[in-house]
Amino acid sequence: MYYDGGCPLCRAEIAAYRQADAGARLRFVDAQACPAEALGGDLARGDALARLHVRRADGRLVQGAAAFVEVWAALPRWAALARLARLPGVLPLLDLGYAGFLRLRPWWRPAAHPIDALPLPLRRALRTDHAGETGAVMIYRGVLAVTRDPALRAFAAEHLATEARHLAEMDATVPARWRSRLLPCWRLAGWLTGALPALAGQRAVHATVQAVETFVDRHYGEQLAQIDAVLGAADGSMQPGPERAALVPLRELLARCRADEVAHRDDAGARWDGRPGRLLALWCALVAGGSAGAVAVCRRV
């Protein structure tokens, strides 16, 4: 059963079916969140989101009111409704009612967004990007809140302007429903990552920024490779469509962000001797490990 996980009423209906499906006769597939291959080659994501589809055991696709009847017939509690729906003249009336429902559904369903066309792993990666840029803004705000060193304040202010631009672009790219629910935690973590080394001075701040940006460079690089694989850049195998239309500008955005982060890393690296003491090395390792752990959590939450 292919359903629209972005529709609150659809989710409630699916929850009722799950509860009634004691014999596990149905497999529920969220057409908004699943990978494209889970839909099969004969069902486009846009069609699956537009109306209910059911794939029978013999592989045949059924849609609309007839799909509901297939579901009801598979559930003992709903079998009587399925028999009623199969009486002469009833199914066309159900189709008319379903068509009316589809006209009203946009009133409570969130508006479609280009991110909805992307593969689920990339949507989750974008959630981490948005959280990461949120944290990056707070790193430099933490530095500015603590230090009175003019050179360090100028360094933080310059990089803050770039990260604020990145965050604005991520705000426009990642809708609220796809953002991390732990954003307050990432803001606090970012602020502390900037404020604590600022207490120790320029050297600690520059080492911290270099450690963070080294991780971010690798993180963005992995996403760019993932996008290139989906686009079929090597053989041009991917056909034009909404997924490509969303991926091409996304790749450009991530490449720009990555280039800026690499510049931040190199700028910070050039401002200290690169030979941390034991305590600073431990702190930088903690920062890098914390960044990786935050990404792992943020993919899910």
pLDDT tens column, 170-193: 999 998 888 999 999 999 999 999
Last residue of a domain, one of 107, 127, 146: 107
Mean pLDDT for 147-175 is 95
More confident residue, 291 or 4: 291
Share of the chain above pLDDT 90, in %: 62
pLDDT for 272 equals 95
* Residues 94 and 193 reside in one and the same domain: no
pLDDT for 249 equals 87
* pLDDT of 294 strictly over 80: yes
Task: Output the DSSP codes for 48-117.
Answer: HHHS-EEE-TTS-EEETHHHHHHHHHHSGGGHHHHHHHTSTTHHHHHHHHHHHHHHHGGGTSPPP-GGGG
CB 221 within 8 A of CB 258: yes
- Binned at pLDDT 50, 70 and 90, residue 6 comes out as confident
* Residues 6 and 67 reside in one and the same domain: yes
* Residues 266 and 146 reside in one and the same domain: yes
Total domains, the chain:
2
* Residues 82 and 165 reside in one and the same domain: no
* pLDDT of 14 strictly over 80: yes
- pTM, entire model: 0.67
Last residue of a domain, one of 75, 91, 107: 107
pLDDT for 112 equals 61
* Out of 105-114, 116-125, 235-244, least confident range: 235-244
* Residues 273 and 146 reside in one and the same domain: yes
pLDDT for 218 equals 95
* Residues 103 and 118 reside in one and the same domain: no
* pLDDT of 273 strictly over 80: yes
* Residues 96 and 171 reside in one and the same domain: no
Q: What is the pLDDT of residues 79-120, one digit of tens each?
A: 999 999 999 999 999 999 988 888 887 776 666 666 766 777
- Domain carrying residue 205: 114-298
pLDDT for 234 equals 42
Alpha helix positions (H), the chain:
8-20, 45-50, 65-74, 79-85, 90-104, 120-146, 150-173, 183-200, 202-231, 242-270, 278-298
pLDDT for 131 equals 96
Share of the chain above pLDDT 70, in %: 92
* Residues 185 and 154 reside in one and the same domain: yes
